[in-house]
Amino acid sequence: MLLAGDLGGTKTLIGLFTTGTPRPEPVATHVFTTSAFGSLGDMVTAFLDEAHTTSDRIGAACFGVAGPVMGTTAQLTHVPWRVDAAEVGSRFSIRRVGLLNDLEAMAYAVPALAPSELEVLQEGRMAPGGNKAIIAAGTGLGEALLHHVQGRLVPSASEGGHADFAARTPAELRVLRELTRTFGRVGVERVVSGSGLVNLHRVLHTRGCPAVDADADPSQGPALISQAALERRCPQCVETLQVFVAAFGAEAGNLALRSMATGGVYVGGGIAPRILPALREGAFLEAFGAKAPLDGFMRTIPLFVILNATAGLLGAAVYAAVLENAAPSAPQQ
């Protein structure tokens, strides 16, 4: 059996998967509130109890974490957790435990996704042997690359979501000025993420919002804003979502250029599937492709939305299978 986890700033998915198939298949999965536990080890213990199993059945494990991975340890960005792969392996007697950035883990799932798990935003012309890239907005913003090396795709982590936000329009310049006053420095995640959508809402609303109660749970803000916008119940929520979608598309285009993603750009995370109608309306694609003098080139890049809500967990399971099948002398991640 394989143990896999997708550790996010808000929620964490943990699952047991079968081995010996082209695509690991889930046997048991569970969703946890990340902040409800003091450590990954405590959460794994709760999961094994929930699944009525023991760790001696597990051949390898991998966890995708929302934060930079340094060797075999990681400090989560939005949760005060330090994750140590060696510590998890020792506690549960799992011989091989891998630790990946959460977007790197999701990148491992990309080659395994079925066509039904993808929504095509731009067909483009997929180049054989081309690099791919993945961008995902949720609690935060993540980015990863898939380099095509000697006939296979090799995922590579990044912390591109924390790179500087590049404002392009009058509305975005206004947002940048206001957020600079608030935060001092504005990374892309301050705009393109769940909290980013709330930041945009605060800046762009000049009067009270009929859709978002000032006393509402802050964690519900992104859903309330996007729902009001999609249902056209609040003009300023519509504007907020339009600015969000355009900024999201522009950053996806930046990633495509930086990675030469002629094999496609994949948009993951929890937000994109929920706002698909807005992504299809045109602002996302327009901003994605507005990269003069390379506008024509940008139209050749395939662009997809990942519909599989557990792609990060699947990717972690894929990598766990790689670990399990590695030669005994192979170094561990």
For residues 249, 254, 260 and 264, what is the CA-based torsion angle, rounded to 10 degrees? -10
Answer whether residue 332 shows pLDDT above 70. Answer: no
CA-derived radius of gyration, the chain? 20
Q: How far apart are CA 180 and CA 164, in angstroms?
A: 11
Contact 42, 86 (CB under 8 A): no
Whether this prediction's pTM lies above 0.85 is answered by yes
**pLDDT for the residue numbered 330:** 43
The amino acid sitting at 117 is E
| Percent share of the chain, pLDDT over 90 | 85
**pLDDT for the residue numbered 133:** 98
How much is the average pLDDT of 123-140? 95
Query: Where residue 328 falls among pLDDT bands split at 50, 70, 90?
Result: low
**pLDDT for the residue numbered 216:** 65
Q: How far apart are CA 196 and CA 275, in angstroms?
A: 15
Written out in words, the top-level CATH class of the domain with range 114-307 is alpha beta
97-101: strand order across its sheet: 26-33, 11-17, 2-7, 60-65, 97-101
pLDDT tens per residue, range 247-283: 999 999 999 999 999 999 999 999 999 999 999 999 9
Parallel/antiparallel/unpaired status of strands 26-33 and 60-65: unpaired
Beta bridge partners of 31: 13
- The label of the residue with tokens 């192979």 reads 330
Query: Where residue 19 falls among pLDDT bands split at 50, 70, 90?
Result: confident
- Give me the residue spans of the domains in the chain: 2-108+310-325, 114-307
pLDDT tens per residue, range 58-68: 999 999 998 89
What does the angle CA 65 – CA 68 – CA 71 come to, to the nearest 5 degrees?
95
Helix H segments across 98-234? Answer: 102-109, 170-183, 194-204, 221-230
How much is the average pLDDT of 81-98? 94
Q: How far apart are CA 71 and CA 88, in angstroms?
A: 14
The amino acid sitting at 40 is L
The third-level CATH classification (topology) of the domain covering 2-108+310-325 is Nucleotidyltransferase; domain 5 (3.30.420)
Answer whether residue 329 shows pLDDT above 50. Answer: no
Helix H segments across 205-310? Answer: 221-230, 235-259, 271-274, 276-280, 283-289, 295-298
Query: 55-90 as b/e, with b when 16 or more CB fall inside 10 Å?
Result: beebbbbbbbbbbebeebebebbbbebebbbebbbe
The single-letter DSSP state of residue 290 is -
Answer whether residue 184 shows pLDDT above 90. Answer: yes
52 C-beta neighbours (distance < 10 Å), count? 7
